[in-house]
Structure 1
Amino acid sequence: MKTVTGLFDNYSDASAAVGALESAGVKSSDISIVSHNADDRHADNSNAAEGAGTGAGIGAAIGGTGGLLTGLGLMAIPGVGPVVAAGWLAATAAGAVAGAVAGGATGGIIGAMTSSGVTEDDAHVYAEGVRRGGTLVTAKVEDTLAPQADAILKRSNLVDPTERRAAYQEQGWTRFDDTLDPYPAEEIEQERNRYRRTGAGL
Structure 2
Amino acid sequence: MKTVTGLFDDYDDASDAVGELEASGVPHGDISIVANNSDGRYDDGYRSDAAEDAAGGAGLGAVIGGAGGLLTGLGLMAIPGVGPVVAAGWLAATAAGAVGGAVVGGAAGGIVGALTDSGVPERDAHVYAEGVRRGGALVTAKVSDGLVDEAERILGQTNSVNLEQRRRAYEADGWTRFDADAEPYGDIKAERDRIRNASSR
Query: Could you tell me which amino acid in structure 1 is paired with residue 42 of structure 2?
Result: H
Please report how far the alpha carbon of residue 156 of structure 1 lies from its aligned counterpart in structure 2 after TM superposition: 5.3
1:57-82 C-alpha deviation (Å, 9 max, x unpaired)? 53332111110000000000010000
Q: Secondary structure at the match of 1:186?
A: helix
Structure 1 range deviating more: 174-183 or 59-68 = 59-68
Please report how far the alpha carbon of residue 155 of structure 1 lies from its aligned counterpart in structure 2 after TM superposition: 1.9
The answer to whether residue 11 in structure 2 is matched with residue 11 in structure 1 is yes
Q: Secondary structure at the match of 1:158?
A: coil
How far apart in 2 are the matches of 1:97 and 1:191?
30
Match of 1:122 in 2: 124
Please report how far the alpha carbon of residue 55 of structure 1 lies from its aligned counterpart in structure 2 after TM superposition: 8.5
Identity %, equivalent residues: 63
How far apart in 1 are the matches of 2:22 and 2:158?
14
Residues 1:68 and 1:55: Cα distance change in structure 2 (over 3 Å): farther
Residues 1:161 and 1:127: Cα distance change in structure 2 (over 3 Å): same
- The count of corresponding residues between Structure 1 and Structure 2 is 189
Match of 1:45 in 2: 46
Question: Contact (CA 8 Å) 1:141, 1:149: kept in 2 or not?
Answer: yes
Task: Point out 4+ residue stretches in structure 1 off by more than 6 angstroms.
Answer: none
How far apart in 2 are the matches of 1:98 and 1:78?
15
The answer for unaligned runs of 5 or more in structure 2 is 49-53, 102-106
Please report how far the alpha carbon of residue 171 of structure 1 lies from its aligned counterpart in structure 2 after TM superposition: 0.6
How far apart in 2 are the matches of 1:129 and 1:56?
28
Residues 1:180 and 1:30: Cα distance change in structure 2 (over 3 Å): same
Q: Secondary structure at the match of 1:174?
A: coil
Query: Could you tell me which amino acid in structure 1 is paired with residue 22 of structure 2?
Result: E
Match of 1:32 in 2: 32
Q: Secondary structure at the match of 1:196?
A: helix
Question: Contact (CA 8 Å) 2:31, 2:142: kept in 1 or not?
Answer: yes
How far apart in 2 are the matches of 1:120 and 1:7?
15
Q: Secondary structure at the match of 1:79?
A: coil
